[in-house]
Amino acid sequence: MRALHIASTGMLAQQTNVEVISNNIANLTTTGYKRQRAEFQDLLYSNIVRPGAQSSDIGTIIPSGIQLGNGVKTAAVYRINEQGTLQRTENKLDVGINGQGYFQVDLPNGEIAYTRDGTFSLDAQGQVVTQQGYLVRGVNQIPRGATDIVINEVGQMFVKLDGTTTPVQQGQFQMVTFPNPTGLEAIGGNLLLETPASGTPITGSAGDQGFGKLNQGAVENSNVNIVAEITSLITAQRAYEMNSKVVKAADDMLSAVNQLR
pLDDT per position in the chain (261 positions), as tens? 789 999 999 999 999 999 999 999 999 999 999 999 999 999 988 888 888 888 888 888 888 888 888 999 999 999 999 999 999 998 999 999 999 999 999 999 999 999 999 999 999 999 999 999 999 999 999 988 888 999 999 999 999 988 777 889 999 999 999 999 999 999 999 999 999 999 999 999 999 999 999 999 999 999 999 999 999 999 999 999 999 999 999 988 988 888 887
Domain boundaries, the chain: 2-81+224-258, 86-220
Contact predicate 243/235, CB 8 Å: no
Supply the DSSP string of 115-171, one letter for each residue: E---B-EE-TTS-EE-TT-PEESSBPPPPTTEEEEEE-TT-EEEEEETT-SS-EEEE
pTM over 0.85: yes
